[in-house]
Chain A
Amino acid sequence: DTEVTQTPKHLVMGMTNKKSLKCEQHMGHRAMYWYKQKAKKPPELMFVYSYEKLSINESVPSRFSPECPNSSLLNLHLHALQPEDSALYLCASSLPKATQYFGPGTRLTVL
């Protein structure tokens, strides 16, 4: 099973809202990632968790707050987002430093 699941599929939020994106995998992967993808562009790395600890933060604004409650779950908490944050948010997982498997993404629209 090489499946990464993400919820919700779509999310519309106002600039003052607080929402969360959820990602789950049951492949025993100990590395989990958040990416942001704009239309017709490649994914951009935001955060990497390795063994439930944040190991990479690609200078992401603090209005994005990641959380890794356990080895199977990854959350991305959103607060006070801007319209330019509208994008497809992708979660991925992998064995340490190995092939990354992506989820289907959450399409986020910030009004």
Chain B
Amino acid sequence: QQQVKQSPQSLIVQKGGIPIINCAYENTAFDYFPWYQQFPGKGPALLIAIRPDVSEKKEGRFTISFNKSAKQFSLHIMDSQPGDSATYFCAASKDDYKLSFGAGTTVTVRA
């Protein structure tokens, strides 16, 4: 049973576009929501993370929006570049060692 549902499975945008990835969760005990970026053949790298007491967080061109009442959070990649082409995973945890990952979204940014 997947605790975090991620969509879309894949998306393609033109350079400069804004890919948006959405995640939803059911477990209200989750209190930490990281996003990971993974390039082929590499390990996931932490991109940005948020806690439920914050509605938005920006780091460079990456922005997380968090809607606690809807139990949804999303990643926006502003001014996307071909180098942003990767698989993105959202995740959630509840102050323990286990991360519940979404299924992943493959983003392709065309030049």
Q: State the A residues within 8 Å of B (CB).
A: 4, 6, 31, 33, 40-43, 45, 48, 50, 55-56, 88, 90, 94, 97, 99-105, 107
Residue in A closest to B42 when the chains form the complex, CB atoms = A104
Q: Are A40 and B104 in contact (CB under 8 A)?
A: yes
Q: Are B99 and A102 in contact (CB under 8 A)?
A: no
Q: State the B residues within 8 Å of A (CB).
A: 34, 36, 41-46, 49, 87, 89, 93, 95-99, 101-104, 106
Residue in A closest to B96 when the chains form the complex, CB atoms = A97
Closest approach, in angstroms, between the C-beta of B89 and any C-beta of chain A? 5
A41 surroundings in chain B (CB, below 8 A)? 103-104
B34 surroundings in chain A (CB, below 8 A)? 99-100
Q: Are A107 and B99 in contact (CB under 8 A)?
A: no
Q: Are B45 and A102 in contact (CB under 8 A)?
A: yes
